[in-house]
Structure 1
Amino acid sequence: MATNSRIPGLRNHTPSERLARVAAGAGIDRSALDALQPADGLSLAQADHMVENVVGMIGIPVGVATNFRVDGIDRLIPMATEEPSVVAAASNAARMARGHGGFTTSYTGDVMVAQIQMLDAVDPHAARFALFEARDELLALANAQDPVLVSLGGGAFDISARVLPTGAGTQVILHLHVDVRDAMGANAVNTMAEAIAPRVAELTGARTLLRILTNKADLRVTRARAVFDPEMLGGAQVVDDIIAASAFAEADPYRAATHNKGIMNGITAVVLATGNDTRAVESGCHSHAARSGSYTALSHFEKDAEGNLVGTLEVPLAVGLVGGATRAHPTAQASVTLLGVQTARELASVIAAVGLAQNLAACRALAAEGIQRGHMSLHARTIAASAGATVDEVGAVAARIIAERRIRVEDAREVLAELRAESSPA
């Protein structure tokens, strides 16, 4: 059964009812998502095998973004985030993109790069050439470390090398290019780099130091594109204002930092929900934003010939479905099952689409109504809970502090006391 990501009114149900509706929309058995329930998710014993010195766990809410169609396929998307409005904003932007087919993506491939640093080369330029002359030997030695990856069509397939002037002297840097297929790839490329380092030292007469992957995954780039009707965004003026806001972020690194943070609100939430490495993805994306020498926006907005808003996003996404927490963490497994992705490429495409949707939603809010209106409406519920409101009281407290435009914890405590006084027997 194909996924149907259109589930109107999902927010009006209880968490248990939502889970059942999401499972039905994804065409999977409800039990496949049991790990999303706190009692059935990651156990303390499992956590103890994942990292050292375990003393407990911290929970992050997992919401489901609806309405997404990515490359012609509907996806229900788990997002792990503590920030209000993120899931709702992404879902709303995805709804607005559906009229033009949703999100279309492209992908450069599953290539990760390991770096080997060489010091004290007497003739660094000749050392660089010696590495190229031994290319086939080095690739064969690297691939001998992971015959399973090679059997799947992956493995080391090329090298590059450069002479790098540094404050600590001239260094030679070797890059080993590895197709990691559906893995994130860190373990595979690091193992290969360690294995070839002694031979690299022999070939160059240099001392090898660092042998590790780079998180600047610019050979593993995903691009996403979507078209939005002006009417759904709020009119032609809103379109022009979104474009102006986007241009501001492209030209100014101060604005770009916040603009890109909005993109990462979406990207990081899906990366975390699926058990991938949020720090690796974030460092890769932010380094990509500075690839021209100046920090700039990761996205771009413009108008097409019909006056529609066209959004594009390009980000390196080193994510996988094989190994790591994605396999070890039951909640991550449930999230992947819900997504229905089969390859790292599909996962990266979904993540990029969410990043673009989140970015469009934030830019629209800024251009049309100011970011605080929608964000604070959702944030009010968190404030109410922080003030001590019970599950049954949160809605009433939030409604009143929104109406009175007093969305602070101390105001929520005051309102909560008033409501309890009003409801108590005389």
Structure 2
Amino acid sequence: MNSRIPGFFKLSPEERLEKISQELHLSEEDKKVLTGNAGFTVENADRMIENTIGYLPVPLGLAANFKINSKDIFVPMATEEPSVVAAASNASKHAYESGGFTTTYTGSIMRGQIQVTNVKNPYFALAKIYENKGKIMQICNEQDSTLVSLGGGAKDIDVQIVETEIEKMVVVHLLVDTRDAMGANAVNTMAEAVTPFIEEITDGCVVLRILSNLADQRIVRARAIFKDPSLHGEGLKKFMDSYQLALFDPYRAATHNKGIMNGISAVVLATGNDTRAVEAGAHAYAAVSGRYRSLTHWELGENNELIGMIELPLAVGLIGGATQSHPVAKLVTKMLDVSSAEELAGIIAATGLAQNFAALKALAGDGIQKGHMKLHLKNIAVMAGATSEQIDEVVTKAIQKETHRFDDIKAIVEELRQRDRT
């Protein structure tokens, strides 16, 4: 498969789907699911959440030009924001010829926290917990024999003393290998099951027993070399200056990382994973040094190359939750042709790095609004009252007039109405 399809963005949705169907060997039923003619229903929605009254479709696009770990991949992205898919596709094109993206994964260890309060001698309790590690592991692993049979399960503990304004609390961290699942249900079940034993050996009172979304033992890294002929001289300096501000200024870093999450969250959502968990973990990880900083690192290479690396926790899975119960999410993972959470996490991290390159390049050039608003024109045309037949003409006229102001777009729509009446 070749992820490079020149002019892909110029095709109609039907033409794109047909093109991709050939590359990914999609069936007619698969195509019906993607176009909303089959698949997700209100009945599906009612099984997923409470008080269901309907569902909200989100546009699903494909980012092209990705090569990840020597494999060409089309990256499905679910997002309502214009320019995200285009930016990822354009950025990955500039990394393609230099080998694309290379990713690594530290493993699928998640933390479950058990908060123990009212402990008279916290350090004595800490020692007792470590002495009973074998029993704790046994209780935890009895809760999920399937996970254990796959090589996962509770692997270790990490006991910490947390001094609060009220008291010194003992916090037991269960370190659980969740394999190809995100793991929240498995970890929470283990934490609740072992609570009575923890209370018995500490003579304390357990309050919280729940997974932590700061998955600092589930780190993904992606690197790539970007060769963009349009970036040189002053443009390169502005690119690096933009990155440096995100390293040292939390106000800039927040927006810098939000741009990264535009790409990451779009793939997480498309695959039916938990966007809130991933976002919480990423932003917490950005602040572990004590100062909120960029999730990416950029260096200058030879011949105007930009060398990028992203590092963040990614708790995503292929088993359980909406990944399996949502027909579109299930089809998306089929399109990605991934067989492990590690592969999926690598694709997501690479997309975040590509998104960051695109954003910094735009900021170093004409600014973020020129490209974004050009792609946003269709939305503005609809807001201004354009019919389906008028949208493309409204966009064309707005581009000719070099405007994206709502009042100007509305005036164009009114001109077309007047013309069509005569």
- Shorter chain as denominator, the TM-score bin is over 0.9
Q: Does structure 2 retain, via aligned residues, the 8 Å contact 1:225–1:312?
A: yes
Aligned to 1:286: 283
Aligned to 1:336: 333
* Distance in structure 2 (CA, Å) of the matches to 1:83 and 1:230: 25
1:276 Cα shift? 0.3
28-37 or 407-416, which deviates more: 28-37
- Which digits, 9 at most, give the CA deviation of each residue in 1:25-49, with x for residues without a partner? 2244353343222232310011001
Q: Which runs of 5+ in 2 are unaligned?
A: none
Q: Does structure 1 retain, via aligned residues, the 8 Å contact 2:109–2:177?
A: yes
Aligned to 1:189: 187
Aligned to 2:345: 348
Pair 1:127–1:115, CA change in 2 (3 A):
same
Aligned to 1:313: 310
* Distance in structure 2 (CA, Å) of the matches to 1:41 and 1:6: 29
What is the identity, as a one-letter code, of the residue corresponding to 2:133?
R
Find the residue that maps to 1:174 and give its secondary structure.
strand
- Say whether residues 1:390 and 2:380 are aligned partners: no
Give the alignment of 1:142-221 within 5 angstroms. 142-221=140-219
1:20 Cα shift? 1.5
Aligned-residue identity in percent: 48
Q: Does structure 2 retain, via aligned residues, the 8 Å contact 1:34–1:334?
A: no
1:424 Cα shift? 3.7
Aligned residue pairs: how many?
422
- Say whether residues 1:49 and 2:42 are aligned partners: no
Aligned to 1:84: 82
Q: Does structure 1 retain, via aligned residues, the 8 Å contact 2:78–2:270?
A: yes
Aligned to 1:16: 14
What is the identity, as a one-letter code, of the residue corresponding to 1:106?
T
Pair 1:276–1:92, CA change in 2 (3 A):
same
- Which digits, 9 at most, give the CA deviation of each residue in 1:181-210, with x for residues without a partner? 000000000000011111011111111110
* Distance in structure 2 (CA, Å) of the matches to 1:229 and 1:16: 32
* Distance in structure 2 (CA, Å) of the matches to 1:118 and 1:29: 53
Pair 1:409–1:38, CA change in 2 (3 A):
farther
Find the residue that maps to 2:120 and give its secondary structure.
coil
Aligned to 1:374: 371
* Distance in structure 2 (CA, Å) of the matches to 1:338 and 1:237: 40
Q: Does structure 2 retain, via aligned residues, the 8 Å contact 1:93–1:361?
A: yes
Q: Does structure 1 retain, via aligned residues, the 8 Å contact 2:94–2:228?
A: no
1:117 Cα shift? 0.2
Find the residue that maps to 1:300 and give its secondary structure.
strand
Aligned to 2:361: 364
1:399 Cα shift? 2.1
Find the residue that maps to 1:181 and give its secondary structure.
coil
1:59 paired residue among 32, 57, 70: 57
1:19 Cα shift? 1.1
* Distance in structure 2 (CA, Å) of the matches to 1:176 and 1:210: 13
* Distance in structure 2 (CA, Å) of the matches to 1:80 and 1:230: 27
1:305 Cα shift? 4.2
- Say whether residues 1:276 and 2:267 are aligned partners: no
* Distance in structure 2 (CA, Å) of the matches to 1:344 and 1:77: 15
Q: Does structure 2 retain, via aligned residues, the 8 Å contact 1:397–1:415?
A: yes
What is the identity, as a one-letter code, of the residue corresponding to 2:270?
A
Find the residue that maps to 2:359 and give its secondary structure.
helix
* Distance in structure 1 (CA, Å) of the matches to 2:289 and 2:231: 34
1:120 Cα shift? 0.5
Please, what TM-score do these two structures have when normalized by structure 1?
Answer: 0.96
* Distance in structure 1 (CA, Å) of the matches to 2:414 and 2:78: 32
Q: Does structure 2 retain, via aligned residues, the 8 Å contact 1:33–1:338?
A: no
Give the alignment of 1:29-48 within 5 angstroms. 29-48=27-46
1:400 Cα shift? 1.9
Q: Which runs of 5+ in 1 are unaligned?
A: none
- Say whether residues 1:401 and 2:404 are aligned partners: no
Find the residue that maps to 2:76 and give its secondary structure.
strand
Give the alignment of 1:94-105 within 5 angstroms. 94-105=92-103
1:340 Cα shift? 1.0
1:395 Cα shift? 1.5
Aligned to 1:237: 234
